[in-house]
Amino acid sequence: MEIHPITATNLDECIGIFITAYNAPPWNYNWTPEKSKQYLAEYADNLHFAGFILYDDNEPVGAVLAHKKTWWTNRQLFIDEFFIAPNKQRMGYGKTLMDHCNNYANDNKLEILVLMTNKYMPSFKFYNKIGYTITEQFIFMFKQVI
């Protein structure tokens, strides 16, 4: 396994993994290659972007897209997207990629890793298993406008 930073030259390699992961159960989304590319590029264009792609035998199998963010106590790494190819899940790839994020945060003096997930999906159990906790004081909210 190898982990490389996501750059403009390898961002497109994330698209196939992203679509495979999120268009399959349990998510069952309908991402197209065009929308996926636009969506991921919006994260990668962030001035404080930090992203990593995981390869196994030169095949991309997972990725994490995040950004560094200032908080009142220090800086944090906010994980915007994290995905592993479905045929590579439950094999340690996700933990390896998240461990890399931990090391990156530590090396860059980022005090905390933050992410959002759906508590009714298997990813919730994964994040709990690797040490993430629920914050009762924060609520995710949205408003439909169209």
pLDDT class for 119, splitting at 50, 70, 90?
confident
Q: Is the pTM of this model over 0.75?
A: yes
- What is the structure's pLDDT at 120? 78
SS3 assignment, position 83 = strand
pLDDT class for 66, splitting at 50, 70, 90?
very high
Q: What ranges in the chain are assigned the alpha helix state H?
A: 12-22, 33-44, 93-107, 122-129
The dotted CATH code for 2-129 is 3.40.630.30
- Residue 116 CB-density burial (10 A; 0-12 exposed, 13-18 middle, 19+ buried): exposed
